[in-house]
């Protein structure tokens, strides 16, 4: 089982790589579309601006390669933080930018009188379905974001998180596509176990 972590200049690839390497998985960094074909599982991280991320993926010819591997070949993919948001139809960060369009929905700014932006630090996820939470003890994960993904189909939501009075989707799954708003690679033991579940439970 080969895990390909996309390296396109906007993701915390070192920590993500190390988290999978902790379990001695066959993991590699991928920055070329040809190498993406060799991966059985794909991980799309991301920290920063949605528009910049789409531009970088297109410049490296990874945008169409991702569509080929995920939509046509049905390979499993995990999107982390901005990586999950890229699955949406559209983001309204810094204007309007089209996403990959794999999951119907939009990415909007976190807003509310009781909400602190950015949403940063440890917070609890509240499971709706528990397939990914085997062996996880506390359900607290590390977040760092100012925008969140609102999927049209609420049935794909695996977990939610309270952000003030706002309830955000913190984990979603549709077919072979899994996304999390939190950073499992920065969430210590439970984060590592979550990544192990992605590889072993869902594959």
Determine which one of 69, 81, 93, 148 is catalytic: 81
Residue 46 zone, left/alpha/beta (φ > 0; ψ -120 to 50; rest): left
- Clarify whether 124 is annotated catalytic: no
Between CA 199 and CA 203 the distance in angstroms is 6
- Clarify whether 167 is annotated catalytic: no
For residue 103, the number of C-alpha atoms closer than 13 Å in the C-beta half-sphere is 31
Q: Two tokens at 129?
A: 């379905």
Determine which one of 111, 152, 183, 200 is catalytic: 183
Say which residues have a Cβ less than 8 Å from residue 149's Cβ, sequence separation at least 6.
84, 85, 87, 88, 103, 105, 106, 107, 168, 169, 172, 179, 181
Query: Is the omega angle on the peptide bond into residue 25 within 30 degrees of 0, that is, cis?
Result: no
- Clarify whether 185 is annotated catalytic: yes
Determine which one of 69, 119, 145, 185 is catalytic: 185
Fill in the DSSP letter of residue 186: G
Could you list the active site residues? 81, 183, 185
């Amino acid at each position: 089982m080969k895990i390909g972590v996309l390296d396109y200049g906007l993701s915390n690839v070192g920590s993500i790589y190390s988290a999978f390497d902790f379990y001695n998985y066959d993991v590699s960094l991928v920055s070329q579309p040809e190498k993406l074909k060799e991966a059985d599982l794909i991980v799309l991280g991301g920290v920063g601006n949605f528009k910049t991320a789409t531009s970088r993926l297109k410049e490296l010819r990874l945008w169409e390669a991702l569509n080929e591997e995920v939509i046509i070949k049905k390979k499993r993919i995990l999107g982390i933080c901005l990586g999950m948001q890229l699955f949406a139809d559209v983001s309204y960060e810094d204007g309007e930018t089209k996403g990959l369009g794999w999951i119907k929905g939009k990415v909007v700014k976190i807003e509310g009188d009781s909400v602190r932006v950015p949403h940063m630090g440890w917070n609890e996820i509240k499971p709706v379905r528990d397939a990914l939470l085997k062996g996880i003890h506390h359900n607290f994960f590390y977040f760092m974001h100012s925008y969140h993904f609102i999927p049209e189909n609420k049935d794909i939501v695996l977990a939610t998180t309270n952000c003030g009075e706002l309830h955000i989707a913190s984990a979603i799954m549709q077919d072979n596509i899994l996304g999390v708003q939190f950073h499992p690679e920065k969430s210590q033991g439970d984060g590592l176990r979550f990544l192990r579940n992605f590889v072993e439970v869902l594959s």
